Structure 1
Amino acid sequence: MQSSLFPNQTENLLPFQGEMYLFPDFFAKEQADHFFAKLSASLEWRQEPIWMFGKRVMQPRLTALYGDPEKPYGYSGIQMTPSGWTPELRHILDSIQDFSQAEFTHVLCNFYRDGNDSMGWHRDNEKVLGENPTIASVTFGAERIFQTRPYSEKSPKLDISLTHGSLLLMTGESQHFWEHQLPKAKRVNQARINLTFRRLL
């Protein structure tokens, strides 16, 4: 399906009711290596508890939130207060905003220590994100398979390989009609950092 936002660069990966665009080499390897090393060492990583099926469990990954300190962000029973932008996050933010022409106020950072860390099926559809939010997802580090599927029918399930330095843009109605996850990958023993930029109203 031809892209409506980027007609000369890539195609919409979703067959209906939403838009998703992948840019595998958005950041060159040298840049991606630099950002992975700096973000690994400098961000305020922590493991938070969440509510799942009525039980309080620890998330199978580390997280950190950065952005407008006057706008907290919450999901799955977690209320997070953002720290101010670091130089590296600001550089990445500016690059993505210039390219996508979308505005972002926050970035939720996820650190997957190896293939045992994961994120279950969900939609980024909190009311504070607005009706049709644009989510920009950047990957540094280990290549992992990102999966998405229609929220109602649960099929077809699409596998998308997110590589070192890649950018995945989800926009349009994608958060209404599609859900996504990062499943466990037992054979992966390297770390991955994922940055998901979003705009809070």
Structure 2
Amino acid sequence: MYYQMGLSGDRLNSSDQPKTVVIDTDGEVIFYPNFFNIQESDRLFSALHSSVKWRQDTIYFYGKTIPLPRLTSWYGDEGKSYTYSHIQQHPEPWTPTLTSIKLKAEKISEITFNSVLLNLYRDGKDSVSWHSDDEPELGKNPIIASISLGGTRRFSLRHKTSKDSQIDIDLPKGSLLLMKGETQHFWKHQIAKTAKSVEPRINLTFRVIKPF
């Protein structure tokens, strides 16, 4: 089954934030399309785009070293390092802008985050392939708050054992996607490349790094 959801999905009211329950089986994914308003989103995008210490990492692909198709950065509490795809990230200290975003994400998520991975998608050629955020540092059933700023990109979810079932969501500026429960055990997600003209996008995924 192929399921596509735009911004016209059914919305449920919770703490004055409109939301859509995207997944409620084998995990829980909740979409808040207007977490930040347009003016706040534009201000935050500009601040982060110019101030974040972006880095160009590389990955091994079929025996070759190639640039990661996006820029990244890792901020967090001291000592909260993170490794994915053989890339080790050591945290930069929190900035006032990131702290303000974190506090708002914590209020709706009801959890205290200690780190955030930022991705800068410069154009439609930048992407992230199918994966789950299931690294040992994240612990069991991690809660991840994913905030989008800048251009709209399509986010896809696919069940690990029912690969004919796919959910596509257009994530506009100012939106929040909250992934919790067993989502990372049963689902993969991606941002695919696109030939369409898209504006640069910054994605922040707030996480909790745990000892393991």
The CA distance in 2 between the partners of 1:15 and 1:89, in whole Å, is 29
- Contact in 2 for aligned 1:68/1:106 (Cα 8 Å): yes
Residue 104 of structure 1 pairs with residue 109 of structure 2: no
Residue 162 of structure 1 pairs with residue 185 of structure 2: no
C-alpha distance 65-97 of structure 1, shift in aligned 2 (>3 A): same
The number of residue pairs the alignment matches comes to 199
- Contact in 1 for aligned 2:78/2:93 (Cα 8 Å): yes
Q: TM-score, normalized by length of structure 1?
A: 0.93
- Contact in 2 for aligned 1:62/1:111 (Cα 8 Å): yes
* Cα shift readout 1:35-60 (whole Å, capped 9, x = no counterpart): 00000000000110123455432110
What secondary structure does 1:13 align onto? strand
More strand by share: 2
* Cα shift readout 1:110-152 (whole Å, capped 9, x = no counterpart): 0000111000000000011011001100000000100000012
Name the structure 1 match of 2:137.
Answer: 128
**Alignment partner of 1:80 out of 73, 85, 89:** 89
- Contact in 2 for aligned 1:27/1:165 (Cα 8 Å): yes
C-alpha distance 35-105 of structure 1, shift in aligned 2 (>3 A): same
Q: Please tell me the root mean square deviation across aligned C-alpha atoms, in Å.
A: 1.9
Name the structure 1 match of 2:7.
Answer: none
- Contact in 2 for aligned 1:142/1:188 (Cα 8 Å): no
**Alignment partner of 1:22 out of 16, 31, 39:** 31
Structure 2: which amino acid aligns with 1:175? Q
Name the structure 2 match of 1:50.
Answer: 59
- Contact in 1 for aligned 2:18/2:34 (Cα 8 Å): no
The CA distance in 2 between the partners of 1:129 and 1:53, in whole Å, is 28
C-alpha distance 18-39 of structure 1, shift in aligned 2 (>3 A): same
Deviation at 1:9, TM superposition (A): 5.0
Name the structure 2 match of 1:175.
Answer: 184
Q: TM-score, normalized by length of structure 2?
A: 0.88
Q: Percent identity?
A: 43
The CA distance in 1 between the partners of 2:195 and 2:50, in whole Å, is 24
C-alpha distance 132-54 of structure 1, shift in aligned 2 (>3 A): farther
Where structure 1 has 5 or more consecutive residues not aligned to the other structure, the ranges are none
- Contact in 1 for aligned 2:18/2:33 (Cα 8 Å): no
Deviation at 1:98, TM superposition (A): 1.2
* Cα shift readout 1:20-77 (whole Å, capped 9, x = no counterpart): 0000010011110100000000000011012345543211000000001212111001
The CA distance in 1 between the partners of 2:11 and 2:203, in whole Å, is 27
**Alignment partner of 2:152 out of 121, 143, 149:** 143
Name the structure 2 match of 1:60.
Answer: 69
**Alignment partner of 1:119 out of 121, 128, 132:** 128
Where structure 2 has 5 or more consecutive residues not aligned to the other structure, the ranges are 1-9
C-alpha distance 53-104 of structure 1, shift in aligned 2 (>3 A): farther
What secondary structure does 2:158 align onto? strand
Deviates more, 1:111-120 or 1:147-156: 147-156
